[in-house]
């Protein structure tokens, strides 16, 4: 590689400021690192696009202190209604099922448009430690990679040229004024979503050319980076530079999307519905915020032409609405306000590689594309970078060994493949014609569809995600399996899965908290000490012994924490005991579990009781998690709330071995 003088040097360069890019920026904003994030578009999303948020996504957003904003503004989807043709061919409600499986999370699935989620990310990024700001209308045009620097994670092997676009270049063309389909309000301005659909041609090359031709395009900058992450969508420029590919297929199924305030006599318009008509195709109803309803509508009339791509000029809101009217007849459907519309062709593709030497990564649509109907797009994309962000940050900050970066592809590629498989099956069942009877082999069994829906809900929630064994996920502790006796996905402690949440009381002030609220995404590892009933002398003595070892000058806790930093800054220890709260005095517990500092005195926010609250009942944390009050358990939690290790409270050696595998000793 030729020597280049850099205009700027960064720790992390993020290409793309959609949900995946913003989630990553959100993580990095929590650290003292230099990060830049660029996006070729000059504005953020205001309407339409992805909107479904699964309960794991809400837990994650809540860990960044923005979950409550989503929860308040969003529409909560509680029940799914299935509509199928009856014996006469008329559609009837055949089933009702809960939208989110009961008990797996403290949140349920909600719907809020992507633009609001992006707003919340931008707000919280602004409040972070770094001076991170999204740079819009900025396009990467050239990529160089110096392999010789790949092994040194303090070095900057990545060189990227960024060009700032003119406003005109950065603003996508839209179709402009569209008459409302039922004619009550003509000429309403409607956002045409086709320009971002996979039916639209990719304009990246065009944009690059334009900036080269046009001197007014503004400055060009050469950036050197330690890490780069491509969050730049299905046509990822970063992926192209790496020469990685997506493999998979597209189908002949074309679907349209309308975001409208419906005027309809269909009874379940505020429920999530899956409607299979006898032979007009299918509709999915997603009720949204602000009286809006999103309809996903199968477009049987739109044919896929040569080259396997549909003719997008044939697709208008009128065409989409008429399809919906046919499917939903005899119910009437009209609207006087349309907020957004688009169309897409179903396909499923997944990336072969997720990273180059753990220095350049791909995330989100850049490594997996699929149909939007399972409400997975924004979720899996955000969860990719939620997985990646803290790993890059802790390596870049010198807290963890670079070896942990390999777990990104290990963990997320399997999730992507599962998603593609799920979507493949689900799309086929949704786009197929209902079987007339058991002999109708070409038709889709409505029983099979319902079954797929119910099972799909567990997958879709992302609560079932179960990461493989690695340096940072280890099932190989002798005692783990004996400690946890209960097996119920989402409600019990399972190595590789996210820590479930139950209500516990702060020992110091009796306030009830969801345990998860005490696990914010701030980059810290955590040891949860389910210390058991501390009024029992044996149980207390085990806890005290651990406290002594942790407090010792040579303990791993001190070794992995910089001498100048607070003792809880790298690994935070939280105690959840099962003694009656009133029978325990915080001051009688080892100081390491409620550490003292000169400035603030003792820490009153680290010890909790599994006990009855005055106003919010009893969380029954031990009972729900299958924990024995006489034995308890120690649980190590990653910065992303996934369980790394489970052992006995007194197993200091096991904890030391676990952290010793990847933590860097500090001074």
267 binds a second copy (CB under 8 A): yes
219 binds a second copy (CB under 8 A): no
The answer to whether 568 touches 525, Cβ cutoff 8 Å, is no
76 binds a second copy (CB under 8 A): yes
600 binds a second copy (CB under 8 A): yes
Q: Which residues of 444-471 are buried (b: 16+ CB within 10 A; e: fewer)?
A: bbbeebbebbeebbebbbbbbbbbeebe
Tokens of 402: 């670079």
Find the length of the chain: 667
92 binds a second copy (CB under 8 A): no
79 binds a second copy (CB under 8 A): yes
585 binds a second copy (CB under 8 A): yes
Subset of 300-359 contacting a second copy (CB under 8 A): 336-337
In 3-state terms, what secondary structure has residue 11?
strand
- Which of residues 262 and 619 has its CB atom nearest to a second copy in the complex? 262
**Contact with a second copy (CB under 8 A) among 108, 124, 298, 316:** 108
For residue 118, the minimal CB distance to a second copy (Å) is 21
In degrees and rounded to multiples of 5, residue 32 shows phi and psi of: -85, 70
| Distance separating alpha carbons of residues 182 and 120, to the nearest angstrom | 35
Tokens of 155: 């070095």
263 binds a second copy (CB under 8 A): yes
551 binds a second copy (CB under 8 A): no
Q: Which residues of 604-617 are buried (b: 16+ CB within 10 A; e: fewer)?
A: ebbbbbbbebeeee
Q: Which residues of 255-284 are buried (b: 16+ CB within 10 A; e: fewer)?
A: bbbbbbebebebebbbbbbbbbbbebbbbb
184 binds a second copy (CB under 8 A): yes
DSSP string of 30-85? TSS--EEEEESSSS---S-S--EE-HHHHHHHHHTT-HHHHHHHSEEP-EEEEEEE
Tokens 């099972």 locate to 455
The answer to whether 453 touches 274, Cβ cutoff 8 Å, is yes
| Distance separating alpha carbons of residues 112 and 562, to the nearest angstrom | 42
| Distance separating alpha carbons of residues 561 and 592, to the nearest angstrom | 14
For residue 540, the minimal CB distance to a second copy (Å) is 18
Active site residues: 51, 288, 296, 372
| Distance separating alpha carbons of residues 179 and 60, to the nearest angstrom | 40
- Which of residues 96 and 126 has its CB atom nearest to a second copy in the complex? 96
206 binds a second copy (CB under 8 A): no
For residue 325, the minimal CB distance to a second copy (Å) is 15
* Angle of helix 652-660 versus helix 537-551 axis, rounded to 10: 40
For residue 609, the minimal CB distance to a second copy (Å) is 12
- Which of residues 76 and 425 has its CB atom nearest to a second copy in the complex? 76
133 binds a second copy (CB under 8 A): no
Q: What mask, x for binding a second copy by CB under 8 A, covers residues 395 to 434?
A: ----------------------------------------
78 binds a second copy (CB under 8 A): yes
98 binds a second copy (CB under 8 A): yes
For residue 271, the minimal CB distance to a second copy (Å) is 6
Question: Applying CB under 8 A, which part among 202-210, 311-319, 455-463, 612-620 lies near a second copy?
Answer: 612-620
90 binds a second copy (CB under 8 A): no
Question: Applying CB under 8 A, which part among 72-80, 379-387, 493-501, 552-560 lies near a second copy?
Answer: 72-80
261 binds a second copy (CB under 8 A): yes
- Which of residues 127 and 509 has its CB atom nearest to a second copy in the complex? 509
What residues make contact with a second copy under the rule CB under 8 A?
A: 68, 72, 75-79, 96, 98, 100, 102, 108, 184, 261-265, 267, 269-271, 287, 291, 336-337, 506, 508-512, 582, 585-587, 598-601, 604, 613-615
């Amino acid at each position: 590689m030729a020597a280049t003088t850099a205009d700027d040097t960064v720790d992390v360069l993020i290409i793309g400021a959609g949900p995946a890019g913003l989630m990553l920026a959100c993580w990095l904003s929590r650290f003292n690192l230099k990060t830049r994030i660029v996006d070729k578009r000059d504005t953020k999303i205001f309407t339409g696009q992805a909107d479904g948020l699964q309960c794991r996504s809400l837990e994650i957003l809540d860990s960044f202190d923005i979950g409550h904003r989503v929860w308040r503004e969003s529409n909560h989807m509680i029940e799914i209604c299935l509509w199928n043709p009856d014996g006469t061919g008329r559609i009837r409600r055949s089933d009702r099922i809960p939208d989110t499986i009961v008990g797996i999370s403290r949140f349920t699935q909600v719907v809020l448009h992507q633009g609001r989620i992006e707003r919340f990310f931008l707000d919280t990024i602004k409040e972070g430690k770094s001076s991170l700001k999204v740079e819009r209308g900025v396009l990467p045009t050239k990529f160089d990679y110096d392999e010789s620097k790949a092994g040194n994670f303090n070095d900057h092997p990545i060189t990227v040229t960024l060009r700032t676009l003119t406003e005109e270049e950065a603003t996508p063309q839209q179709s402009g004024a569209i008459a409302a389909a039922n004619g009550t309000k003509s000429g309403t301005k409607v956002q045409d979503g086709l320009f971002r659909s996979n039916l639209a041609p990719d304009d990246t090359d065009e944009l690059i050319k334009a900036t080269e031709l046009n001197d007014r395009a503004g400055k060009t900058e050469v950036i050197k980076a330690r890490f780069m992450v491509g969050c730049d969508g299905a046509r990822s420029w970063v992926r192209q530079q790496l020469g990685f590919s997506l493999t998979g297929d597209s189908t002949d199924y074309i679907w349209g999307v309308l975001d409208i305030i419906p005027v309809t006599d269909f009874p379940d318009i505020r429920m999530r519905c899956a409607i299979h008509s006898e032979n007009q195709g299918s509709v999915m109803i997603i009720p949204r915020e602000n009286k809006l309803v999103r309809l996903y509508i199968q477009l049987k009339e739109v044919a896929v032409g040569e080259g396997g791509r549909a003719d997008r000029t044939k697709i208008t809101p009128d065409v989409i609405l008429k399809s919906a009217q046919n499917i939903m007849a005899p119910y009437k459907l009209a609207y006087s306000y349309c907020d957004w519309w688009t169309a897409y062709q179903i396909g499923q593709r997944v990336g072969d590689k997720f990273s180059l030497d753990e220095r350049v990564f791909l995330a989100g649509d850049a490594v997996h594309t699929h149909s939007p109907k399972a409400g997975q797009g924004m979720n899996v994309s955000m969860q990719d970078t939620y997985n990646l962000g803290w790993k890059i940050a802790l390596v870049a900050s010198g807290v963890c060994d670079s070896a942990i970066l390999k777990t990104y592809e290990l963990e997320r590629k399997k999730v992507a493949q599962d998603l593609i498989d799920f979507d493949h099956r689900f799309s086929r069942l949704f786009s197929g014609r209902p079987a007339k009877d058991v002999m109708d082999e070409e038709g889709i069994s409505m029983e099979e569809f319902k079954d797929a829906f119910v099972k799909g809900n567990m997958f879709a929630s992302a609560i079932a995600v179960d990461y493989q064994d690695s340096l940072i996920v280890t099932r190989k502790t002798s005692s783990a399996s004996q400690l946890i006796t209960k097996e119920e996905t989402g409600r019990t402690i399972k190595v590789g899965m996210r820590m479930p949440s139950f209500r516990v009381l702060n020992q110091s002030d009796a306030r009830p908290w969801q345990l998860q609220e005490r696990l914010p995404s701030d980059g810290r590892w955590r040891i949860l000490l389910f210390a058991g009933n501390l009024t029992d002398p044996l149980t207390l003595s085990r806890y005290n012994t651990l406290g002594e070892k942790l407090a010792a000058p040579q303990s791993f806790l001190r070794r992995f924490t910089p001498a100048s930093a607070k003792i809880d800054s790298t690994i935070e220890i939280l105690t959840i005991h099962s003694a009656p709260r009133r029978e325990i005095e915080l001051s009688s517990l080892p100081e390491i579990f409620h550490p003292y500092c000169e400035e603030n005195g003792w820490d009153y926010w680290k010890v909790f009781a599994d006990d009855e609250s005055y106003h919010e009942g009893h969380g029954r944390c031990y009972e729900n998690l299958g924990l024995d009050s006489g034995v308890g358990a120690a649980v190590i939690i990653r910065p992303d709330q996934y369980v790394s290790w489970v052992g006995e409270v007194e197993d200091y050696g096991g904890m030391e071995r676990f952290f010793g595998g990847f933590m860097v000793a500090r001074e």
